[in-house]
Structure 1
Amino acid sequence: MEAAALFAEERAPLLVMAVGNILKMDDGFADAVLNHLAEMELPEDVELFDAGTSAIDLMEVFDRREKLIVIDAVRGGQEPGTLYRFSPQEVEDGALPMNSLHQVGLLETLKLGELVDCKPKSTVIIGCQPQDTGLGIGLSEPVKAQIERASELVLKEINQFIESNL
């Protein structure tokens, strides 16, 4: 994706953002899901974006978005490959014992965006419990097995957004 398109005046109202590092095994989960989604025909209201590992630099990317779907590796204390769906508010309220590998930067960025009126109206996080986040390329089998299911969860969020905005 070209930087010029990213900062254009007109933006897709729904941003699907992958956060992670493909050089740290299962931390590359989000990138694998994003690549899987990129092979599909998605509505024009949807933009896919690979954020890498630094969410704090992305406030400009969130600006003027109706919905943000974040894909990330998430430590929730369950078996490797367990999928999660939650909102930043649920984590802030302590309702969930989730620990996104990039949660602090993401939650801080969303909070800062709220202060300067640069936050998506709605945010949901789709995460997968990693098995191994050590240095290396490739996903563990339990995490790799969830790429398609996680993509389905993202598509469900996209479809709900589209239907609610008809």
Structure 2
Amino acid sequence: MGNADTDRRGEASLAQGDPWVVPARAPILVMAVGNLLRGDDGFAEAVLAALAERDLPETVELFDAGTSAIDLMEIFDRRDRLIVLDAVRGGAAPGTLYRFSPEEVEAQALPMNSLHQVGLLETLRLGELVNCKPKETVVIGVQPQDTALGIGLSPVVAAAVEKAVELVLQEIYSQGRPPGRPHAPL
């Protein structure tokens, strides 16, 4: 009888939103950071939309974060892997794709800059301070051509969307790539 009561209480607690019950989260979060109203800054949303058309495993959650990663620490807490999609200024030709981890950017003082008020690196550092950080983070970014007000990607950035989708799928299914030149343009 004790087990049945416990089970019933557990079910009731879940149904009523018990604050002590932590809901399960997909271990992999693919998060788009960007602004559809600023041209190529809508790259991440375009990649996320293309991924939504794919048959992804249940272990993957897609999330559009908009432009402020600082508000989202809770959403990437308790994740095994965070894959961030963003437009970044890395100094390469427009449409160039990058794959890097925040640690690589910090360790090598790479010139990778997000286009948003509070960048991903700052958000992850703050997350460490409050123990709210994914186990592993990778960023797949594109060098933008035009981020002026306007809807739609430039042709060179639009051409990079499908390749970015393939890079994300590689991250999902193969858990990344072997060490090498991780910060080099792809």
Question: Given the two structures, how large is their TM-score scaled by the length of structure 2?
Answer: 0.80
The reply on whether 1:90 has 2:104 as its aligned counterpart is yes
Q: Which has the larger radius of gyration?
A: 2
Moved more, 12-21 or 93-102: 93-102
Task: Quote the residue 1:148 is aligned against.
Answer: 162
**Which letter maps to 1:123?**
T
The question of 1:27 aligning with 2:41 is answered yes
Q: Does 1:45 align with 2:59?
A: yes
Question: Which of 149, 158, 165 lines up with 1:135 in the alignment?
Answer: 149
Q: State the partner residue of 2:8.
A: none
Identity over the aligned pairs, expressed in percent? 74
Segments of 5+ residues of structure 2 without an aligned counterpart are 1-16, 177-186
Shift of 1:128: 0.4
Match of 1:105 in 2: 119
Give the distance between the partners of 1:59 and 1:98, measured in 2 at CA.
21
TM-score (norm 1): 0.89
Q: Is 2:25 aligned against 1:11?
A: yes
Secondary structure of 1:85's partner? strand
Moved over 6 A (4+): none
Partner of 2:129: 115
Which residue pairs with 2:50 in the alignment?
36
Shift of 1:117: 1.4
Give 2:133's aligned amino acid. Answer: K
Contact 2:39 2:146 in 1 (8 A): yes
1:68 to 82, 92, 105: 82
* Cα drift, residue 103 of structure 1: 7.8
Q: Is the 8 A contact 2:68 2:118 kept in 1?
A: no
Q: CA deviation at 1:121?
A: 0.4
Deviation at 1:111, TM superposition (A): 0.9
Query: Aligned partner of 1:97: which letter?
Result: P
Per the alignment, in what secondary structure is the counterpart of residue 36 of structure 1?
A: helix
How many residue pairs were aligned? 156
Partner of 1:59: 73
